Amino acid sequence: MADVQRGKLILGGHEFAVKDCDMTYISLFDNDEDIDEEREIITKTLSMDVWFEEGEFGDEEVSPEIIINEFATGKEDLEDIIGMEFEVKDVEEADEREDTMYIFEHEPLINYKWNIIGMEGELLHVKISGKAITDGYSDPEQTADFEGEFWLNVKE
């Protein structure tokens, strides 16, 4: 039996549980841009898509989602990725990478740090923290700090 994905996101003081479903996962795949055929080395790329259970955010019921797109790791195996940290420093970089948080619409993250903590059974333990745009249609746009700790399936 597979381990149950779990964890929580705290967004602007509101808590959301990880949704244990097929749409929530860490993706680990070959980095086509870093293939060393002479040494037969292919490094890995990592990304994350996390869906959350419905919960209250202000006066609304929402089901957030975090999408972190590909980071080249320069490592050959999942075990070598443990302890790595990835950072996006500003909204322009997040927008270019298409890293988003969905609350009412997909909005780029303002900044974040994503840490790969370890393995627990078949689940990868990760932490993320930063600032997100929570309502890009308001004037001025609304933002909130967020942090999350998750245990997620890895799809290779």
Would 143 be classed as within a structural domain?
Answer: yes
Rounded (10°) CA dihedral 147, 7, 16, 4: 160
User: Which residues are 62's β-sheet partners?
Assistant: 55
Per-residue pLDDT at 40: 65
Give the mean pLDDT of the chain. Answer: 93
Spatial distance between the Cα atoms of 110 and 89, rounded to a whole number of angstroms: 8
| 67-120 per-position pLDDT tens digit | 999 999 989 899 999 999 999 999 999 999 999 999 999 999 999 999 999 999
DSSP 45-65: EEEEEEEB--EEETTEEE--E
Q: What is the pLDDT of residue 1?
A: 42
Structural domain tally of the chain? 1
What percentage of the chain carries pLDDT values higher than 70? 92
In terms of residue numbers, what domain contains 54? 6-155
In a domain? residue 1: no
- Which pLDDT score, from 0 to 100, does residue 3 have? 87
Whether the pTM exceeds 0.85: the reply is: yes
Within a domain: 70: yes
